[in-house]
Structure 1
Amino acid sequence: MSATSSILNKTTLHNKKLTDYKLVAIDMDGTALNEKYQLNRRTIETIQKVEDNGLVILLATGRMLSAVTEHLNLLGTSGLVVSHNGALVKDVHKNQTYLHNKVLPEVVKTTLLLYEQFKFVLHFNIQDEVFVKHPSTVSKRYAEELGITLNYSSPSYLDIIENSTSILLMERKKVLEHVLMQVQATHPNEFDHVLIQDRKMFGCYNSYLIILLKEKLF
């Protein structure tokens, strides 16, 4: 049983029923998805049952939209998605955007300058497209795990600076911790970040780190 199935099957606790709620927001990695980054049959049936009871299903994730579409199609539920850890809120089925916060241009410029110095793996997430600075085995593995397509054709410098929904950095832990400290020192309280250590993706838990930068929401 996935974490999602377990939680939703316990919603009658504390005298609460599904009909007492209007919306259910569901995390994906480590919650709705199993260890193979897939939805199992029981999870799909549980979520569909919840929606059949009149609740709106919303997927909330750090992923970009292209890494959510396949799962939405399997669920057959509402197209509401909070992606990029809150930077983009969109109804995928209606192609309606409710919120789109972008990384501040100065934060993007600083990241580019640090990239020239440290040469970490760098992805620019512009809405639903993932632009890669340079090809790498780490980027390829990342794309395979998420089921996304990487775009190796560089957008214009202005497009990167002004339209990055989020920025993904991948490199050895010590390198990215140093990079993060420099970005924070240059732009205190001007962005949010998420740190991810993934044993499966990089083979060694303490060697690699993923940092997702996005605009500060609060």
Structure 2
Amino acid sequence: MFKLVAIDIDGTLIDDNFKVSKRTIDRIRDLRDRGVNITLATGRTYRSAKQYADILNIDDPIICYNGALVKDNSNGNIIYDARLPLDISKNIIGFGEKEKLDIKVYTDDTLYVEEDDERTREICKNHKIDYKVIGKLSENIEKGAQMIILIEDEERIREIRKKIDSMDIKNISYTMSTPRSLEFGAPGVNKGNALKVLADKYGIESKEILAIGNSLNDLGMFKYAGTGIAMKNSDRILLEEWDKVSKYDNNEEGVFHILDKYFD
């Protein structure tokens, strides 16, 4: 039996209306009562992820910012925290500004943006996070980021990804939670490495871990876990790398069906 389950949030645990189904809540609570460790592994901030952990009665640590932060939901203690240095953060932001991309910088549960707009307000409302407008980010950001996101349409992001790869920028890692975004973190940051931090804390072997997700940023934890299951609605870029796929999507209680399959 699995001793640890890692579940992505957006496109996986929650439906397109940001809700978790009652059957999924009940199943996860039941597993928690039976001693199974449950962690949420997400690109979201801690505060944003915590709202769902609390709904599910999860007091295990939460993996945030694609693995840059692991924070205990029972007491708020930080278990792991990896940040981009300020100079590297400014380099990435400066690149995004030069390419005229939408840039979002996340540090300590706050989103930093250049200017206020409806999309930022919508994100912060849905994710229940705070944001600060500070003008030109590369000039006004004052501390290293836990995550930097560059956003554009899918075709342009493919071009930007090729540029980043050809530049061979040191001291960063990057992944994608949607085909429209590049998400940068400190070297070695990914959900798989963060999951290993938790597994070591609990004395759990990788073969005893089940991971569930839907995007390329979940690939690291799929590779580390004994079993990794991609949702039916997974991004094409993930499905090019991973072939263990559920028959259900996030609007069909996919997480519930996966847990029902692997647990009595």
- For the residue of structure 2 that corresponds to 1:141, the secondary structure is helix
Distance 1:173 1:152, change over 3 A: same
Normalised TM-score (structure 1): 0.73
Task: After TM superposition, list the pairs within 5 Å mapping 1:13-162 onto structure 2.
Answer: 20-153=1-134, 160=141, 162=143
Residue in 2 aligned with 1:184? Answer: 165
Distance 1:158 1:124, change over 3 A: same
Question: Residues of 1 paired with 2:183 and 2:148: CA distance?
Answer: 6
Residues 124 and 167, structure 1, Cα contact 8 Å, conserved in 2:
yes
Residues 78 and 93, structure 1, Cα contact 8 Å, conserved in 2:
yes
| Residue 217, structure 1, aligned to residue 193, structure 2 | no
Shift of 1:161: 6.1
Moved more, 169-178 or 75-84: 169-178
Structure 1 residues not aligned, in runs of 5+: 1-19, 199-208
Letter in 1 for 2:109: D
1:39-87 deviations in whole A, cap 9, x for unaligned?
1111111100000001222111111112212112211221410111111
Letter in 2 for 1:56: N
Residues 195 and 210, structure 1, Cα contact 8 Å, conserved in 2:
yes
- For the residue of structure 2 that corresponds to 1:125, the secondary structure is strand
Same amino acid, percent of matched pairs: 21
Residues 84 and 185, structure 2, Cα contact 8 Å, conserved in 1:
yes
CA RMSD of aligned residues (A): 2.8
Shift of 1:25: 1.7
Question: Residues of 2 paired with 1:188 and 1:180: CA distance?
Answer: 12
Question: Residues of 1 paired with 2:48 and 2:160: CA distance?
Answer: 26
More strand by share: 1
| Equivalent residues, number | 189
Question: Residues of 2 paired with 1:153 and 1:189: CA distance?
Answer: 27
Residues 88 and 127, structure 1, Cα contact 8 Å, conserved in 2:
no
Shift of 1:32: 1.5
Question: Residues of 2 paired with 1:49 and 1:175: CA distance?
Answer: 44
Higher relative contact order (CA 8 A, sep 6+): 2
